[in-house]
Amino acid sequence: MARNRVTLLQLCMRSTTLILLYLLSFSLLRAQFRIGVDIGVTQNYFHTTFPGQVEIASKPLPGKYLTIPICYSLSRSVQVEVDPSIIDKSFTLGRTGSYQGIYTDYKNTYLQLPVLVKFDRGERWKYNVGVGLYSAYWWKGRINGKTADIFSAIPGGDGNTYRYKLVPFQKNYVFDSEIDKRVEFGAVGACGLSRSLNRSLNIGLNARLYYSFTNMNRSNSVSYIPSKNRTWVFSVAFIYSILK
Amino acid sequence: MTKLLSIIFFISIISWSCKKDHVKEVQEDAIGSFVDLFDSFWSKMNMRYVYWDIDSTNWKNCYNRYRSRFNALDIHSAVDQAVAVGYLKEMTSSLIDGHCQINCQFDLIQPSTINPSADKKRLQHDFHSPFVYAGVDSFFLDSGFIFGRYVTKSNEQVTALTGTIGKDIVYFSCSEFELREAFSAPGSNGVKAVFERYQHLLGSIAVQHNLRGLIIDVRNNPGGSLPDLSFFVGQLCSKDFVFGGMKYKLGPGPIDYTGWMDATIGSAGNLSVTNSKIVILVDQYTKSLAELVAIAIRTFPNSIIIGEQTWGATGTVSDGNLYNAGSFSVGRFLTVYTSASQFRTLGGQVIEGKGIVPDYSEKFDQQQLLLGKDNVLSSAITWLRQ
C-alpha cells in the first residue's frame, strides 16, 4: 500500500515536470503568452474520521487566495495555465453535544503550483473548464480556539458531570518533520467565465476545486489518521496578453 | 471530444470529494487475538497519552519490537496471557505519567495491575510503605481539636483533622481531597465539622497577629476531586491567582497540544492569609491533587514545603472524552488510567514522574513515628516559631 502511494506521488511529480517543460518549449515557439492576477476566497473541507475522538465535527473556514496565472494558448480554444499561488486551507474542529463551545481553528497557508489544461468556448463572453495537477507546500499554520479549563470544574446538578469555564488559546503551528507531511499533491478542476475588456485585458470569474491525494501527517498503518484537504476557490482574475 | 472529456473529469473530481476516507481501526468488539489487542492499545496510547513530547519512552520502537511478539501469542492460552501482561509491563515501564495504571482482565489468569510509577518507587533506596499520620499528629494538637470522617458518593472513607498547636499554630490535614463534596452534603458529617472549624481558625489567623501561621499536612494524601483545588486553596486568598501552566491535547496526533495556558485558582472567600507563614508537609505518597495544592500554596511569599520528595503525578485526570485524551479501555481486557493534561510550575518545570523537591528535606522515620515523634511536623513548628 505504501509502495503504491509513493508511486502515485512520483507519477504526480513527473507529470507536473513534463507538463511544465512542454509548456515552456511550446510557448517559446508559437503560443500566445498571457499573465495576470487572480484574487479570491477559499473554503477548505478537512476530511478525517476522528479516530479515537467523540462528539467532534469538522467545518470549513474561509481563507484567502492569491495567484499570478501564467497562460499559454496552444490553440484558439486550448490553453495551459500555471498558477503559482498562496492559498489558505483552513478549517475548524468543533466539539458537539455536551462539549459544545470547545473548538480549534487551524489556519494553514500553502504555497501552491497547479498546472491546468483549459478549454474555452464563446466569443465576447467565454466559458471555460479545465483540469490539472498541483503540488503544494504547507508554509505556515496558526492554531487558536477555546478549551475547558480543568481547574474551573464545578460539579453539575446531577453530581456526575462537571461544568467548565472555556479559556482561549492560540499559537503558531510548530512543524514536526516526523509527523507533518508538508508537501501535498492533488488534482484540480476548474470552471469559469471570462470577458474581454479590450484587445489585451480579460476579466474572469473562476471556481476551482483542489483535491488532495496526500495526507497532512505521516503515520504507520495503525496510527494512520486521515487528514486531507478539499479546497474550493472562488476568484476574480484579470489577465493581460503581453505577447502574440 | 476533448471538451467532453474535461467536463467528465471535472465532474468526477467533484463527486470524488464526497467519498469517505478509509481508516484502518481495530474495532473494539473484534479483538480476537493478541495482535488486535496490541494494535488497539498501541494506537490509543499513541493518540491519548499526554507526555509524548517529553517522555523518554520510544513508542515507535515499542511497536516494532512488541507487535511480532504479541502476534506469536495465543489469546486462549493462560501461559500466553501471563506473557502478554509481562510484555505490557515492559513496554510501559519507563512512562513518566505518575497516574498511569493498567488494569488487565484476562479470563484464564488472575486480574493484575501494572503501575509503572509505583514500580519505579519501589526501587528507590528511601521507599517505605504508606503511613497514617493522623494518629500521631493528634497528640501534637491542643485539646479541642476535631477529627471527622465522611463516606463519599463513590463509597470511599475520607478523614480530616484540624486544631491548634501551642495555641499559636493552626493545623489541618485530610486523607483525601473530597472536602467540597463533604461540605456540600446535606446534613452533618465529620469532615464538614472539621472544615467549618478550620475556616474559623483561618479567620483567626487573618485577624489575630499573635498566631504564628498555618500547617497544611498533605502527607499520604493521594489527591481527589479537582474542584477541591479552588475550594481548599481558594479559602486562603481573596483574589484569583496563577500557580502554573496547563497543556491540553487538541487531537489524535501524539504531540498535538494547545500550548501552555495559565493554571488559575479561583478565590473562595474574602479572607487572605497569603502573607502568613504557611508550611506544607509532604511525603512520597503526596500525589496528584495533593501535589497541586502544595505547589499552589508554595507560590505564596511566606510558605515552604517540608518532608520527602513527592510522587510526581501532577497531570490531571478527567473525563476521557473532554480532551479526547487520557484514560481509555481496550475491549474487555484492559482499562488504562492516565492523565488528560500536563501541568508545569510557575518556573516552567514539568515535574511529572519526578515530584516536588521540598524546601527542607526531612526523611521518613517510622521508628520515631511509632514512638509518637514526628520529625517533619516538629521541623514545621520550629520554622513557624523562628
pLDDT in tens, A125-153: 999 999 999 999 999 999 999 999 999 98
pLDDT, mean of residues B155-166 = 95
Q: How many residues does chain A have?
A: 244
For B74-84, b/e burial (b = at least 16 CB within 10 A) is: ebeeeebbbbb
pLDDT, mean of residues A183-197 = 96
Long-range contacts of B123-130 (CB under 8 A, 24+ apart): B124/B284, B126/B284, B126/B308, B126/B363, B126/B364, B127/B284, B128/B284, B128/B364, B128/B366, B130/B220, B130/B285
Among candidates A99, A121, A223 on the partner chain, residue whose Cβ is nearest the Cβ of B322: A99
Q: What is the pLDDT of residue B269?
A: 77
Rounded to a whole number, what is the distance in Å from the CA of B204 to chain A's nearest CA? 28
Q: What is the pLDDT of residue A11?
A: 60
- What are B229's three cell numbers? 483545588
Among candidates B10, B252, B324 on the partner chain, residue whose Cβ is nearest the Cβ of A191: B10
What residues 291-350 of chain B have any CB closer than 8 A to a CB of chain A? 316, 318-319, 321-324, 328, 340-341
Q: What is the pLDDT of residue B9?
A: 41
Q: In 3D, which of B129, B181, B133, B136 has the Cα closest to residue B155? A: B181
Rounded to a whole number, what is the distance in Å from the CA of A239 to chain B's nearest CA? 22
Rounded to a whole number, what is the distance in Å from the CA of B12 to chain A's nearest CA? 9
For residue A28, name the pLDDT band (cuts at 50, 70, 90).
Answer: low
pLDDT, mean of residues B131-140 = 93
Whether ipTM exceeds 0.90:
no
pLDDT digits (tens, 9 = 90+) for B192-250: 999 999 999 988 877 776 788 999 999 999 999 999 999 999 999 989 999 999 999 98
Element of type H or E holding A24: helix A2-29
Write down the mean pLDDT value for chain B: 90
How many angstroms separate the CA atoms of B99 and B102, rounded?
Answer: 10
pLDDT, mean of residues B289-308 = 97
How many angstroms separate the CA atoms of B40 and B42, rounded?
Answer: 6
The 10 Å Cβ neighbour count of residue B125 is: 4
> Does the structure show a pLDDT above 60 at B60?
yes
For residue A244, name the pLDDT band (cuts at 50, 70, 90).
Answer: low
> Does the structure show a pLDDT above 90 at A80?
yes
pLDDT, mean of residues B67-87 = 96
The 10 Å Cβ neighbour count of residue B197 is: 19
pLDDT, mean of residues B333-340 = 96
Distance between the two ends of chain B, CA-based, in angstroms? 97
Q: What is the pLDDT of residue A12?
A: 56
pLDDT, mean of residues B88-106 = 97
Check if the beta carbon of residue B268 is closer than 8 Å to that of residue B235. yes
> Does the structure show a pLDDT above 80 at A20?
no
Task: Collect all residues of chain B within an 8 Å Cβ-Cβ radius of residue A228.
Answer: 21
- Residues whose CB falls within 8 Å of the CB of residue B308, separated by 6 or more in sequence, listed in order: B126, B282, B283, B284, B358, B361, B362, B363, B364
> Does the structure show a pLDDT above 70 at A223?
no
The answer to whether B3 contacts A121, with C-beta atoms less than 8 Å apart, is yes
Taking the model in full, what pTM does it have?
Answer: 0.85
Q: Calculate the alpha carbon distances from B253 to A49, A52, A208, A229, B245 in Å.
A: 13, 11, 30, 17, 21
For A164-190, b/e burial (b = at least 16 CB within 10 A) is: beebebeeeeeeeeebbeeebbbbbbb
Q: What is the pLDDT of residue A243?
A: 59
CB of B245 less than 8 A from some CB of A:
no
Q: Calculate the alpha carbon distances from A229 to A42, A46, A141, A216, B253 in Å.
A: 12, 5, 14, 8, 17
The answer to whether B255 contacts A179, with C-beta atoms less than 8 Å apart, is yes
Compute φ and ψ for B79, nearest 5 degrees.
Answer: -60, -45
